[in-house]
Amino acid sequence: MAQQLNRNATPVRMRNYGRIVQDMVAYACTLPQGKERDSLEVYIAQCMRQRNLVWNRDQEAGLNRVREDIIRLSDGQLRCDSPVFEQMIAQPNLGVVNSQKKKKQ
């Protein structure tokens, strides 16, 4: 007899980011403060920024919006106040997709 697969039936809180980002945030909340947690916060922010660009091609999702969403997803446990995160905010928007197609000549 086939065994039934266990599925995570909890609803996704922010559908534009997906369950994987939500699970990464939940895992990051279990880590103690330190370098590993800070680097995971930066990685999560990069993933969220890319996912937001896929959903909202016409507008750039600033990292301040991503920071607010991480705080909301983690119920305030992740603060995104590491120096690496601040350097990411200071960088110009890399990887922004241009929504206008080139015209053929």
Classify residue 3: in a domain, yes or no.
no
Classify residue 11: in a domain, yes or no.
no
Domain that holds residue 27: 19-90
Using a 10 angstrom Cβ sphere, with 0-12 exposed, 13-18 middle and 19 or more buried, the burial of residue 39 is middle
Residue 66: closest CA among 40, 45, 82, 51: 45
Classify residue 48: in a domain, yes or no.
yes
**pTM: predicted TM-score of the whole model, two decimal places:** 0.70
pLDDT values of the chain reduced to their tens digit, one per residue, 105 residues: 677 777 776 788 887 888 889 999 999 999 998 889 888 888 888 888 888 877 776 666 577 788 888 899 999 898 887 777 777 766 655 444 454 555 566
Whole-Å CA distances, 70 to 32, 55, 103, 105: 17, 17, 38, 44
Classify residue 86: in a domain, yes or no.
yes
Q: How many domains does the chain have?
A: 1
Classify residue 25: in a domain, yes or no.
yes
